[in-house]
């Protein structure tokens, strides 16, 4: 069960405007789980699970876990919601014989996706000491940023945050906290963070640029670029296309079912998953539904797209990012692989519960979340997405902003999610790895945007959303 959960708690992208509803949906399933648990009915609990869950663990194995590990804990007497982060509710679960942390999340169909128990840890009281800050607190923007970010940076789990804002052609940068807990070193413009799934937007530009150069068609069937040994990726006579890989409509599951290797490093889970593993998975993949009809966020699909682009260009993902995007845009510190000289600027990451985390390295799924960057570079990247007159990569970048799929309240362009609060068009993506969280959102029409980089995996979508709202109204 531990290994299963690791798969499902990897990088995600959640609409910041739908999180409250999602939390309430999880809570409704939690109530049912508690009822079925106290009835000692493993079959009914299993009925709450989604298809990805059931692919990872068969009903008889799940029943064995319930009967041998969970039911002996006695009645589940009390469940208290402690936190909601990145689509996952964390509870304090009080059994007759133990107190555990319980983690629950749902898939797109409203079924259990994450189902995890860990030894209970008492919430740590938020920081009482003053938090390091580079905010001068002089302008209304300064003060608003400070008021918004304090709730995040003062949480006991967090460490450091860098915030970048573009508005009316001006750049604003703020730093809070520490690069490593206890070192009293404030992050700066050159501090390097993992950006997680925001990497997918870079992959989207690679695809758009390849399309503009006639190296690939968005309507091409994916199998055109795969080994002949891989059967056609299709369902109901509808093939998976290249565009479906980048807009999460491919019907390819979020994570490959062979991702969990016997020797997997939980602190660095992607490191050993190579192209051979990915192709082996695709050889046996049978899609559960027709492609192009349903939104299902998929690291597997975007990772596969990266492999296809590598094969087309005969270059690694790191080389493609450097040659196609970073050099033209002047991004000097944005890369998959860090040189030895960069390591001293690479900040320590922390889990959403405040534990030190290892850095994440990638092979075949690099395109889904492998990039590291600084707030300086990410502001340049934001500017490139805002500036429609910039000739450098402009056509490719603008192509990534055009919606290509809409389903179940999700409007997706090429990687980017399109949000429409108050009739505004906000282009958005977030990212998460084991020890980092990232947020990027912008309004191209009004020329403002926000980037937030944190060396803690605890989400800060709420803070990002508030900053976007402030910029829209000031």
Same domain, 76 and 220: no
Same domain, 318 and 219: yes
85, 101, 119 - which closes a domain: 119
What SS3 state is found at 38? Answer: helix
User: Is the Cβ–Cβ distance between 34 and 44 less than 8 Å?
Assistant: no
Q: HSE on the CB side for 302, CA within 13 Å?
A: 30
Say if 360 falls within a structural domain.
yes
Same domain, 406 and 284: yes
Same domain, 346 and 247: yes
Say if 260 falls within a structural domain.
yes
Same domain, 199 and 115: no
State residue 8's pLDDT score.
Answer: 37
Question: Of 164, 252, 184, 183, whose CA–CA distance to 448 is shortest?
Answer: 164
Say if 7 falls within a structural domain.
yes
Same domain, 296 and 420: yes
What SS3 state is found at 131? Answer: coil
What SS3 state is found at 99? Answer: strand
Between the alpha carbon of residue 64 and those of residues 36, 57, 70, 166, the distances in Å are: 16, 11, 9, 54
Same domain, 264 and 383: yes
Same domain, 400 and 291: yes
Question: Of 403, 420, 421, whose CA–CA distance to 412 is shortest?
Answer: 403
Same domain, 104 and 221: no
Write the CATH number for 410: 3.40.710.10
Say if 435 falls within a structural domain.
yes
Cα distance between the two ends of the chain: 49
84, 100, 119 - which closes a domain: 119
Say if 256 falls within a structural domain.
yes
Residue indicated by tokens 């069960």: 1
Determine the Cα angle at 9 with ends 336 and 380, to 5°: 35
80, 100, 119 - which closes a domain: 119
Between the alpha carbon of residue 344 and those of residues 123, 154, 209, 340, 362, the distances in Å are: 31, 25, 33, 8, 20
Tell the burial category of 58 from Cβ atoms under 10 Å away from its Cβ (0-12, 13-18, 19+). Answer: exposed
pTM: 0.84
Say if 149 falls within a structural domain.
no
Tokens, residue 472 = 């829209």
Write the CATH number for 16: 3.10.450
Say if 170 falls within a structural domain.
no
Tokens, residue 365 = 């799924």
**Strand partners for 101:** 92, 118
User: Is the Cβ–Cβ distance between 382 and 440 less than 8 Å?
Assistant: yes
Same domain, 310 and 422: yes
| Number of structural domains in the chain | 2
Burial 118-132 (b: 16+ CB within 10 A, else e): eebeeeeeeeeeebb
State residue 52's pLDDT score.
Answer: 80
Structural domain that includes position 52: 2-119
Same domain, 76 and 203: no
User: Is the Cβ–Cβ distance between 55 and 285 less than 8 Å?
Assistant: no
What SS3 state is found at 373? Answer: strand
Same domain, 103 and 214: no
Say if 125 falls within a structural domain.
no
Give mean pLDDT in consecutive 10-residue pieces for the chain, a chain of 474 residues. 36 43 86 94 94 84 89 92 80 91 87 88 73 96 96 92 96 98 97 97 98 97 96 95 97 89 83 95 94 92 98 97 97 96 96 90 96 98 91 93 88 93 86 94 96 94 93 93
User: Is the Cβ–Cβ distance between 193 and 436 less than 8 Å?
Assistant: yes
Q: What is the DSSP letter of 325?
A: I
State residue 21's pLDDT score.
Answer: 66
Between the alpha carbon of residue 351 and those of residues 62, 129, 392, 428, the distances in Å are: 27, 21, 37, 23
């Amino acid at each position: 069960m531990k290994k299963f959960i690791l798969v499902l708690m990897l990088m995600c992208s959640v609409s910041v405007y739908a999180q409250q509803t999602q939390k309430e949906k999880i809570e409704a399933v939690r109530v049912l789980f508690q009822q079925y648990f106290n009835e000692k009915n493993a079959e009914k609990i299993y009925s709450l699970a989604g298809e990805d869950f059931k692919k990872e663990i068969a009903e008889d194995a799940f029943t064995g876990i319930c009967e041998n590990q969970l039911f002996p804990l006695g009645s589940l007497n009390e469940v208290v919601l402690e936190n909601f982060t990145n689509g996952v509710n964390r509870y304090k679960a009080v059994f007759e014989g133990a107190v555990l942390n319980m983690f629950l999340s749902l898939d797109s169909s409203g079924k259990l996706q994450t189902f995890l128990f860990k030894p209970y840890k008492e919430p740590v009281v938020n920081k009482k000491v003053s938090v390091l800050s580079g905010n001068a607190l002089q302008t209304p923007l300064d003060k608003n940023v400070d008021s918004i970010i304090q709730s995040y940076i003062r949480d006991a789990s967090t460490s450091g945050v860098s915030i970048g804002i573009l508005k009316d052609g001006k750049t604003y940068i703020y730093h809070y906290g520490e690069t490593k807990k206890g070192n009293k070193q404030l992050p700066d413009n050159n501090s390097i963070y993992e950006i997680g799934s925001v990497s997918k937007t870079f992959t989207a530009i690679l695809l758009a640029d390849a399309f503009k150069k006639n190296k690939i068609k968005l309507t091409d069937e994916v199998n055109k670029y795969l080994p002949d040994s891989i059967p056609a990726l299709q369902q109901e006579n509808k093939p998976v296309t290249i565009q479906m890989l980048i807009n999460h409509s491919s019907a390819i599951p979020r994570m490959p079912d062979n991702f969990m290797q016997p020797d997997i490093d939980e602190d660095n889970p992607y490191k050993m998953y190579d192209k051979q593993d990915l192709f082996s998975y695709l050889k046996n993949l049978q899609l559960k539904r027709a492609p192009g009809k349903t939104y299902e966020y998929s690291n597997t699909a975007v990772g596969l797209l990266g492999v296809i682009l590598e094969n087309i260009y005969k270059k690694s993902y790191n080389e493609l990012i450097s040659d196609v995007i970073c050099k033209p845009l002047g991004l000097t510190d944005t890369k998959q692989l860090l040189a030895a000289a960069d390591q001293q600027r690479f900040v320590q990451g922390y889990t959403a519960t405040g534990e030190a985390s290892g850095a994440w390295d990638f092979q075949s799924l690099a395109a889904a979340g492998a990039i590291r960057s600084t707030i300086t570079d990410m502001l340049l990247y934001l500017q490139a997405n805002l500036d429609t007159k910039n000739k450098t990569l402009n056509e490719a970048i603008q192509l990534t902003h055009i919606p290509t799929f809409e389903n179940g309240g999700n409007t997706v362009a090429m990687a980017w999610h399109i949000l429409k609060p108050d009739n505004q068009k906000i282009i958005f993506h977030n990212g998460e790895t084991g020890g980092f969280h990232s947020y990027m959102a912008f309004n191209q029409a009004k020329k403002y945007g926000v980037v937030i980089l944190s060396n803690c995996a605890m989400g800060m979508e709420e803070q990002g959303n508030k900053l976007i709202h402030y910029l829209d109204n000031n």
